[in-house]
Amino acid sequence: MNIKVCGLKYVDNIGEVAALGPDYVGFICYDQSPRYMADLPPNVTAVPNGVVTTGVFVNEDADKVFEMIERYGFKAIQLHGTETPEYCLQFKGKVTVIKAFGVDADFNFEQLEAYKDVVDFFLFDTKTPAHGGSGETFDWEMLDRYKMNVPFFLSGGLSPDNISEVAKIKHPAFYGVDLNSKFEIEPGLKDISKLKEAFVLLLNE
């Protein structure tokens, strides 16, 4: 089980999270988010080797994304808007590309076919107007409708209360979890004790 902790924006807290040994850490580069990384210094992403630093973008101009990759040394990008397959293709092979989709009861997994060769991972979040960070879950049984081989992260309302259920999901393409708003003291400030408990449970499952 791979673990991504997303929405970091405080320097000391970033170091504490990185010390837990997540596989990925995410920085929100979308200024409408309460977890927006704002003007953090470039060295803030100098986390231990092996941790994949990820910039999270929403319908951002491609040149700006490339600029942020260069400035912060992001090893991955997570695209949380309505980015097209053609948009994603610009980054394939340069960084790891994660394409996020908001899932609700009417979600059609067939639309993902167009992305299968231009992204490395999908991320399934709960569909909301705010592009993630809602703290709400979707019906995880819907994942049974996903038949492709592209591995995926699960996001959306993962919390200390339901993480044990998440660990039981046995979908063959289930790659990792994305921990965010339910593991916080305030937006962008992660609760290290809650994360430690989740890490122990997920890594021992």
The encoded tokens of residue 192 equal 């290290």
Q: Is 6 considered catalytic here? A: yes
- Which of 29, 125, 161, 191 does the annotation list as catalytic? 125
Of the residues 6, 29, 88, 178, only one is catalytic, namely 6
- Reply yes or no on whether 117 is catalytic: no
User: Which uninterrupted H or E stretch holds 134?
Assistant: none
Tell me the three-class secondary structure of 20-78, residue by residue.
Answer: CCCCEEEEECCCCCCCECCCCCHHHHCCCCCCEEEEEECCCCHHHHHHHHHHHCCCEEE
**CA pair distance 26, 87, nearest whole angstrom:** 20
Catalytic residues: 6, 125
